[in-house]
Chains A and B, each alone.
Chain A
Amino acid sequence: MKNTDLIKLPFSKNNPILVQVLGVCSCLAVTAQLKPAVVMAVSVTVVVALSNLIISLMRNTIPPRIRIIVQLVVVSTLVVLVDQVLKAYMYDVSKQLSVFVGLIITNCIVMGRLEAFAMVQKPWPSLLDGLGNGLGYSVILIVLGFVRELFGSGTLWGYPVVEKLGLYNIGYENNGLMIMPPMALILVGLIIWWHRSRNKDLVEQ
């Protein structure tokens, strides 16, 4: 596989959420607003990319039977670092994300890339693969955060868009369903629907 594909494919035919259907839990939980969604997206991207790199560097010294434990140690170290940084510099967002930063450890995308890619590939491609998958995940998270905050709360990044447009005065109301996790699942389903109708070769026979 070419190095550019490692970055490009996760955006289209190998998107972690749309095609691999991994990392769905966090994408339902943190996308009610745009800001936490973006912070989460950045955090996961950093963790996936760096853990891919580190595991790839260590791959020849890891005994196969305990590889999951070793991977977990690396991932949780990185997650704790991210958590500390967030607490230090973005305390309010960190509060909002609460337990979901810690739960990056259990994000299937991270484990999936380590197992499927970093354990058998050289460091540079591994880093690119981690970045690509992190960014592919980020795109979906940001789209969801944008749609859900705009229609659910009428704001974007905390700015009251709908109120400034004066839509409330003509009878518009925020959609309460958008803030609930089930609607995120439905939105992901709709995106998958659109994605598969564009890429027919993804449809199973």
Chain B
Amino acid sequence: MRIKWVEQLFDKIEPTFSEGGKLGWLHSTFDAFHTFALTPKTITRSGSHIRDAVDSKRSIIVVIIALLPALLFGMWNIGYQTAMSTGAGADWHWIYMWWFGFLRMLPMIAVSYIVGLAIEFAFAQYRGHEVNEGFLATGLLIPMIVPVTTPLWQLALAVAFAVIIGKEVFGGSGMNFLNPALVARAFLFFAYPTHMSGDKVWIASTWWGNDAIAGATPMGELATGSAPSASALDMLIGTIPGSTCETSFIAIALGAMLLLFTGIASWRIMLGVFLGGGLMGLLFNAIGGNAYMELPFYYHFLMGGFAFGAVFMATDPVTAAQTNAGKWIYGLLIGVFAVLLRVCNPAYPEGMMLSILFMNCMAPLIDHCIVARNIKMRERRIGK
């Protein structure tokens, strides 16, 4: 689809921003908006290339569309949880619940984008690089995986930390070895633990009542040794307290289908994470001993950030393993470690974040081993 007037507008202002133009120093900034709106016209000149019509900007947009079901459901769930726990209950129309959540999420998303993009543009401008589109997804992911009560200044700090330490020091998008959104969450988790766990952070208070509302997540309940009060169906739909947009398995599954259908996320990694988590869950079932160990294995998929992490975090193409065999190992181990951490380490109620970050670090090593093994096998085949 070509939009004439957009094209004409960019053509008209382009000379001002190119080298030698009046605003030539803003070239990176101009380039970012230009390539965001229109597919670049540049032609590959040397060597033989395979060129896909879907460049990384277009694929990021698909990721954002895939996030929408979880985001929209998450907004409604924020309102629903507040309505249920303040006793307002059925008095709130579902549209009002969604509106309440929307107003809660909007400042968080705005802060995340403003802080993150400001830093990205500053770096690109300073280094004379193109502005990379990776942050469009990261900036939306960060507010989706934190508790709704996270103070905005802490969120801003975490975003700045993630963009600078998680990404820019290594050379920007594509060079980072850790998932920036999870770096932001890990920063919050370690820097301000009282805002990231416990039973006081998951439910937004209303504007007229400032007291924090208590409401434990299923995993919070399990960590204290009791069985979760929410049913598996509640967790499947997502009407449970939790980080803003990670509660609904169904909404995440919708996004997962789009990602798998378009081939943007690796099905090997996604399946691997669920298989690994399920196997570990079954293993703990066999051992038994406490409520957490005897939990049916599929509960692990439904609780906390497991599904969200498996679909949107583990499959990040930059930080995941690149080889096909490597993707299986990478995915399986994420699932295994996530459940292991959940069940065996009471200090960390949610294992998904740490296990993905850990496997992000291991991914290059896995790839290295797979490639080395492949070389050895081929050498043997030619009879060395």
Q: Which of A175, A177, A178 has the most CB of B within 10 A?
A: A177
0/1 interface trace, chain A 162-174, chain B, CB 8 Å (1 if under): 0000000001010
Question: Is the CB–CB distance between A171 and B153 below 8 Å?
Answer: yes
Question: Is the CB–CB distance between A177 and B151 below 8 Å?
Answer: no
A65 to B192, CA, bound (A): 53
CB distance from A201 to the nearest CB of B (A): 20
Chain B contacts for A186, CB-based, 8 A: 165
Question: Is the CB–CB distance between B153 and A178 below 8 Å?
Answer: no
Question: Is the CB–CB distance between B190 and A173 below 8 Å?
Answer: no
B25 within 8 A of partner (CB): no
Interface positions of A from 149 to 163, Cβ below 8 Å from B: none
A186 to B160, CA, bound (A): 14
Chain B contacts for A176, CB-based, 8 A: 190-193
B151, B165, B169, B191: the one contacting A175 at CB < 8 Å is B191
CB distance from B119 to the nearest CB of A (A): 14
* Given known A186-B165, A189-B169, A193-B169, contact A175–B192 (CB-CB < 8 A): yes
A86 to B165, CA, bound (A): 38
0/1 interface trace, chain A 13-57, chain B, CB 8 Å (1 if under): 000000000000000000000000000000000000000000000
CB distance from B357 to the nearest CB of A (A): 12
Interface positions of B from 145 to 196, Cβ below 8 Å from A: 151, 153-154, 165, 169, 187, 190-194
A180 within 8 A of partner (CB): yes
Question: Is the CB–CB distance between B165 and A177 below 8 Å?
Answer: no
* Given known A186-B165, A189-B169, contact A177–B190 (CB-CB < 8 A): yes
Considering the complex, give the chain B residue whose CB is closest to the CB of A178: B191
Question: Is the CB–CB distance between B169 and A177 below 8 Å?
Answer: no
Interface positions of B from 109 to 158, Cβ below 8 Å from A: 151, 153-154
- Interface size class, chain B: 10 to 19
A178 to B187, CA, bound (A): 10
A171, A189, A193: the one contacting B151 at CB < 8 Å is A171
Question: Is the CB–CB distance between A180 and B169 below 8 Å?
Answer: no
Question: Is the CB–CB distance between A180 and B190 below 8 Å?
Answer: yes
B165, B169, B192: the one contacting A173 at CB < 8 Å is B192
0/1 interface trace, chain B 221-238, chain A, CB 8 Å (1 if under): 000000000000000000
CB distance from A149 to the nearest CB of B (A): 15
CB distance from B200 to the nearest CB of A (A): 14
0/1 interface trace, chain A 184-205, chain B, CB 8 Å (1 if under): 0010010001000000000000
A173 to B152, CA, bound (A): 12
Considering the complex, give the chain B residue whose CB is closest to the CB of A173: B192
Interface positions of B from 192 to 217, Cβ below 8 Å from A: 192-194
CB distance from A181 to the nearest CB of B (A): 12
Chain A contacts for B193, CB-based, 8 A: 176
A178 to B190, CA, bound (A): 9
CB distance from A49 to the nearest CB of B (A): 35
Chain A contacts for B194, CB-based, 8 A: 173
Chain B contacts for A178, CB-based, 8 A: 191
A173 to B98, CA, bound (A): 31
0/1 interface trace, chain A 72-96, chain B, CB 8 Å (1 if under): 0000000000000000000000000
Chain B contacts for A177, CB-based, 8 A: 187, 190-191
Chain A contacts for B192, CB-based, 8 A: 173, 175-176
Interface positions of B from 25 to 59, Cβ below 8 Å from A: none
Considering the complex, give the chain A residue whose CB is closest to the CB of B164: A190
Chain B contacts for A173, CB-based, 8 A: 154, 192, 194
Chain B contacts for A171, CB-based, 8 A: 151, 153
A175 to B190, CA, bound (A): 8
A193 to B154, CA, bound (A): 24
A177 to B188, CA, bound (A): 9
A residues with CB within 8 A of B: 171, 173, 175-178, 180, 186, 189, 193
A-B contact pairs, 11 of them (CB 8 A): A171-B153, A173-B154, A175-B191, A176-B190, A176-B192, A176-B193, A177-B190, A177-B191, A178-B191, A180-B190, A186-B165
B residues with CB within 8 A of A: 151, 153-154, 165, 169, 187, 190-194
Beyond the given pairs A175-B192, A176-B190, 4 more chain A to chain B contacts, judged by CB atoms under 8 angstroms and listed by A's residue number, are: A173-B194, A176-B191, A177-B191, A178-B191
